[in-house]
Amino acid sequence: MVQKYESGGRMWPHIHSRIVGSLLLSQVTMLGYFGVKKFVYVPLLLPPLVATIVFAFICRNFFYPSFDVTPLYATCEEPRKRPSVEEIKQIYTPFCLSNCIARDDEEVGRRLQGWVQDEY
């Protein structure tokens, strides 16, 4: 079962591509910096760059297609209740703004009474 706060691994392709992209950027930056400094062993920095590109290509071809298909256990579970817009507004509206949005005096009174009881 996928928890509410989990994505079920659906974010991994996005995160992986950013990690590989930043790794490539750092390797190219290092290659340029050492090239400007006339470092003798700059040609030794080319194989890791090529290996990173090959690794990214392999991951994209072999592992990314499995993320296109929704797992069966996620499709078989009962759908969660979707809250209405009014419930969302009530949950996320701060108390100080509740009287501006909710004009119902009894609702504001109940909220105020619950807040006073919680505080004292």
Q: Are residues 61 and 91 in the same domain?
A: no
The pLDDT assigned to 67 comes to: 77
Q: Are residues 54 and 23 in the same domain?
A: yes
57, 76, 95: which is the final residue of a domain? 76
Judge whether 2 lies within some domain.
no
pTM of the model: 0.55
The pLDDT score that the predictor gives to residue 34 is 92
* Helical packing angle, 46-62 and 12-36, nearest 10°: 170
pLDDT tens for the chain, 120 residues: list them. Answer: 556 656 667 778 888 999 999 999 999 999 999 999 998 988 898 999 999 999 999 998 988 887 777 666 666 766 667 767 777 777 777 776 665 555 555 666 666 666 555 555
Domain co-membership, 49 together with 92 = no
Report yes or no on 3 lying in a domain: no
Query: Which tokens hold the place of 6?
Result: 């989990």
Q: In terms of Cα–Cα distance, which of 74, 71, 83, 70 is closest to 3?
A: 74
Domain span holding position 106: 85-119
Same domain, 18 and 65: yes
Q: Do residues 17 and 72 both lie within one domain?
A: yes
